[in-house]
Amino acid sequence: QEQLQESGPGLVKPSETLSLTCTVSGGSISGYYWSWIRQPPGKGLEWIGYIHYSGSTSYNPSLKSRVTISVDMSKNQFSLKMSSVTAADTAVYYCARGVGSSSVWGQGTLVTVSS
């Protein structure tokens, strides 16, 4: 059964870069789109962006200037980088398979932006 696992620092300082990795196990990253979604504490879901295994990407226009999503097929991983973070970027970050109708999600990882 395919599983996704987010990993990365749980605490990031303001103005620095948030970096997360999603490791795909039990399946191949090839052939699919892969997404990042976040959820601020007590709030709703926000789509961050997606990447196709071929490397093509699409980002939320409100975050586009600060976000980069990349894929490493050799490691069966894809990654998220978000620059110039502020407290407003504090959230649980989820990785998921697919774009829209995502049927496989990671458990999520809380990233807190604080000095």
The site for another protein (CB under 8 A) is made up of: 35, 37, 44-47, 50, 58-61, 94, 99-103, 105-108
Q: Least distance from C-beta 16 to another protein, angstroms?
A: 25
Q: Least distance from C-beta 85 to another protein, angstroms?
A: 20
Q: Least distance from C-beta 58 to another protein, angstroms?
A: 7
Q: How is the chain classified by DSSP, letter by letter?
A: --EEEEES-SEE-TTS-EEEEEEEESS-STT-EEEEEEE-TTS--EEEEEEETTS-EEE-TTTTTTEEEEEETTTTEEEEEE-S--GGG-EEEEEEESSSS--EE---EEEEE--
CB nearer another protein, residue 35 or residue 77: 35
CB nearer another protein, residue 16 or residue 105: 105
CB nearer another protein, residue 16 or residue 46: 46
